[in-house]
Amino acid sequence: MVILKSDREIEKMLVSNRIVAETMCKLEQLIEPGISTIELDYFAENVILKRNAKPAFKGYRGFPSTLCVSINEEIVHGIPGNRILKDGDIVSVDLGVLKDGYYGDSAATFPVGKVSPKAMDLIKTTRESLMKAIDKARIGNRLSDISNAVQTHAEMRGYSVVRYFVGHGIGRSLHEEPKIPNYGPPGRGPRLREGMVLAIEPMINEGTFEVHILTDNWTAVTMDRLLSAHFEHTIAITANGPKILSVLDDSITKALVAGETGKSISNIWEL
Ligand code: MG
Ligand code: MG
């Protein structure tokens, strides 16, 4: 069952999601060659605790950390550790926060130092796929219109869409109904309604969409070990269209959805 949220609940979710956005924005400032992924994790946990909030992933089904940090061929659920980020890596950071009973969830892929044009194009296409999907999150559309928007854009650019992981509803639980695949024909599934809050999260691969899970039982990598990128926002469906909760400023949110900002990919969290 899809749980609809009241305006008051959406306000609360805005608070938790803005802590996510603030943390992501600060992490982006730290991401450069030479920093370890565990340093990013400690830093993020500190920001969240200072806001009297809790890291949502730590302890979730036994996950040990605040962040999921996934480098290059790693798709999602990488565990922070002693690995040092290198010039030319791309790093996907996924972060969930619980504040006052409600969850926030967002992810982004950042370039480390100078990356190849190919890697930058994958990052850009993945972010665009998310924004096109968000633009379909409107009252009266169907759920798979969101899915189809991701697949259409990513495949048009020559990339593949991960099937194994999906987006999700979010609220008092980190993962609620509905599941939101990033592929499939349009016009299927439940109609979108005011008060739905969704975490839309395309994972886009350079090569095959097939996934392999490493022996740590968490880290998902591409089967062919080519690159993968991941972007996620928590959004609310409102009478005025989709409202992105996991950003810091609403006017820039609208411009992003419309593709009107000239901001570079790597600083979308500096809002
Ligand atoms: Mg996430
Ligand atoms: Mg999520």
What ligand is nearest to the CA atom of residue 199? 2
What is the Å distance from ligand 2's center to 232 Cα? 7
Binding site for a divalent metal cation, by residue number, is 94, 105, 168, 201, 232
Phi/psi at 252 (nearest 5 deg)?
-70, -30
Least confident of 21-25, 33-37, 110-114: 21-25
Angle ∠(94,52,234) on CA atoms, nearest 5: 35
* Cα(148) to centroid(ligand 1), Å: 20
Residue 10's nearest CA partner among 251, 268, 260, 246 is 246
Residue stretches of the annotated binding site for substrate: 77, 175
pLDDT tens figures, 40-98: 999 999 999 999 999 999 999 999 999 999 999 999 999 999 999 999 999 999 999 99
What H or E segment, with its residue span, contains residue 241?
Answer: strand 241-244
Show the domain range for 25.
Answer: 7-257
- The answer to the question of residue 81 being in a domain is yes
Ligand at shortest distance from the CA of 200: 2
| The model's pTM | 0.92
How many independent structural domains does the chain possess? 1
CA 51 vs. chain centroid, Å, equals: 21
pLDDT (tens digit per residue) in 256-266: 445 554 444 44
175 C-alpha to ligand 2 centroid (Å): 7
For residue 73 the two structure tokens come to 């061929």
CATH classification at residue 65:
3.90.230.10
Asked whether residue 228 is assigned to any structural domain, the reply reads yes
Is 107 a domain residue? Answer: yes
Please state, in angstroms and rounded to a whole number, the distance separating the CA atoms of residues 147 and 145. 5
